[in-house]
Amino acid sequence: MIIVNLDVMMAKRKTSLNELSERVNITPANLSILKTGKARAIRFNTLEAICKELSCQPGDILEFSEQ
């Protein structure tokens, strides 16, 4: 199972969903799907843009759990 910690990183960086969606050029609806862990995939260029804007690593956003 992949756990998405995007909401945690956004809170740490004090960034809103709308603000981040504008900066990474993704719709708020699609970013919300990713944030809630309902996304089935993420493109590397989207992940790269999010990491760049939040000054973090992909591992800060995505986590693997065997549960």
pLDDT in tens, 40-51: 999 999 999 999
**CATH for the 2-64 domain, from 1.10.260.40, 2.60.120.310, 3.30.360.10, 3.40.50.800:** 1.10.260.40
The pLDDT score that the predictor gives to residue 67 is: 81
In terms of Cβ atoms closer than 10 Å to its own Cβ (0-12, 13-18, 19+), residue 61 is: buried
Q: Is the pLDDT of residue 38 over 90?
A: yes
6-35 confidence digits (pLDDT tens): 999 999 999 999 999 999 999 999 999 999
The predicted model scores a pTM of: 0.90
- Complete DSSP assignment for 10-25: HHHTT--HHHHHHHHT
Closest to 64 measured CA to CA, from 22, 3, 19: 3
Q: Where are the domains of the chain?
A: 2-64
